[in-house]
Structure 1
Amino acid sequence: MPLLGTAAGREEHGRGEGGDRTLELDRRAEEVVVVELQKLCSGGERFSVLSEEAGLIEFGAPFPRVLLDPVDGSLNAQRGLPVVGTMLCLVAGPTLGEAQVGYVQNLVSGERWHTIRGGGVHRNGQRLRPFPAGSRDRIEVLGLESGPGSLLTAQALIERAAKVRLLGSMALSLAHTAAGGIDVHCSPIAARCLDLAASALMIAEVGGLVTDLGGKPLARLPADLTGRSTILASASPELHQMAQDLLRVGSG
């Protein structure tokens, strides 16, 4: 990723449709993906693309829709921190529950995850296996996506976890949860569906759970720029229940 941590990559181009500043590295990454998707349209496919930068682009039909976050972890990219991902998710309809295909790639290491609904999850071409029931009874690694002001919400999880990791990329943190590197991921700050759609499908495909902090499923979350939610994601139902119980006690 040549623009990582460079002044050229940090050049601003106003604000994207998602409301955040659009940097040169965001614009260039989006351009690469959209050009490839345009080729599919030229070949007869009809669909739309929703990106944080360009907003909604129709290639002949509103659905299916490709949700695109070209640079997930923009602050990491600006600062030269090598944890930066890209996320694509194909949804058949207007909600996250209609996600069909997901893809996440670490733009620095090249590590990649992909899933097709009902077909499991593959990491660098190797299929991930679901965790056996009861195989994990404690939170060894907790993933967080949070600012200082919201850490108190996750305090009960932080105190119970053996280790805490803040990667700075929602898509990658959730992908590592699907792969088992992170037991529970918590985001007390509401995240956009574009940050989590592909990875949420992956976690479901390996038998894990993704809800908001209150335990509400995300299936009805709008697959558009308004769709936001807090996130609690776990590699297994047992870990998810444990995390929910801790959050409930911590807020009581």
Structure 2
Amino acid sequence: MPSSRWPTDASDAAWVDVLTRAADRAAAAVALIPPHERGTEVGQGEGGDTTLVIDRDAEAAIIEVLEQAHADGMRFDLISEEVGERSCGGDGALVIVDPIDGSRNARRGLPEFAVSLAVTDGPRLSDARVGLLRHLGTGETVVAVRGEGVMVDGHPMRTRDYRGLWLTVVEGASPRRLTAAMDHLAHANRIRSLGSLALSIEYVALGRLDGLAVLRPGRIVDIAAAVLIANESGVIVTDEHGMPLDAVADMDWRGAMAVARVPRDVAALTAAVRAALDAGSR
């Protein structure tokens, strides 16, 4: 449970402040883009996806805040979906940025898209120390600090009681992959697909959804903040084989995963993931 002075570590507090300001600036930049222009294509990012106006402008706003933090004395390396990797005098800290997770939703006027920001103190996903997700459809901000829990809009998180896989979410759900996975999800009451991997992980962590099967490999920038939120909330994050998820934090990593609120759901969710992966790349 977070303390009354949260986070207690001054360095973590400084990073929470920087990431919050970066998310604020990104949200302001997005608000200035007419909705019909958000999906305009402007190039290709280092992550391989098409860059949209909303991606470009949100990332520029975030990097402006990070560059000011560097000018003020903070040292770190940076991984971002659009610009790739760069150094800001790195001393072991790594900032992982997805300026817009759920770009396709934003492009179509759907509300499920978010800014995802994380800081690690080592080269692996498990080294994450601070993570922040800003839901740009609702304005909600969720922050996790390693060892100190999760805050939702400044309040300690509360989860709903677990009653089974009532609402199960899938991501990367092409028809072929989803068809292959469905036999393993037959005991779920309802299936959802949000179109934002970061928000899907977060929603399981907060108890809004009951389990997640990622049917197509995701990237570090998609998951870094959300996985820390999940870990701090106590849910289970695994690879497709049911092993604890960890990865090198770089632009090259791709991996499928499952997120479960209770151990007994891991087998079904990971079986769904494996079946989808076996079904092919489309």
* Fold shared per TM-score above 0.5: yes
Give aligned pairs, total.
Answer: 246
Which residue number in structure 1 is paired with residue 108 of structure 2? 79
CA distance in 2, matches of 1:214, 1:153: 17
What's the % identity of the aligned pairs?
34
Which residue number in structure 1 is paired with residue 227 of structure 2? 200
Q: 20, 32, 36: which one pairs with 2:49?
A: 20
Equivalent residues in 2 for 1:182-193, closer than 5 Å = 182-193=209-220
Q: 62, 66, 78: which one pairs with 2:95?
A: 66
* Structure 2: gaps spanning 5 or more residues: 1-29
Cα 1:62–1:37 change in 2 (3 A) is same
Q: 172, 176, 197: which one pairs with 2:199?
A: 172
RMSD, aligned CA:
2.2
Q: 80, 89, 101: which one pairs with 1:51?
A: 80
**What letter corresponds to residue 231 of structure 1 in structure 2?**
M
Equivalent residues in 2 for 1:1-252, closer than 5 Å = 1-2=30-31, 3=33, 5-6=35-36, 8-61=37-90, 63-129=92-158, 136=162, 138-145=164-171, 146-219=173-246, 221-241=247-267, 243-244=269-270
CA distance in 2, matches of 1:130, 1:29: 30
Which stretch of the first structure deviates more once superposed, 139-148 or 242-251? 242-251
* Structure 1: gaps spanning 5 or more residues: none
CA distance in 1, matches of 2:220, 2:164: 28
Partner secondary structure for residue 160 of structure 1: coil
Cα 1:142–1:38 change in 2 (3 A) is same
CA distance in 1, matches of 2:261, 2:147: 17
CA distance in 1, matches of 2:241, 2:91: 32
Cα 1:5–1:164 change in 2 (3 A) is farther
Cα 1:78–1:246 change in 2 (3 A) is closer
CA deviation map 1:190-213 (0-9, x unaligned) = 000111111111111111111122
CA distance in 1, matches of 2:272, 2:41: 42
Structure 1 residue 157, shift from structure 2 partner:
4.2
TM-score computed with the length of structure 1 as normaliser: 0.90
CA distance in 1, matches of 2:102, 2:62: 17
Contact 1:106 1:112 in 2 (8 A): yes
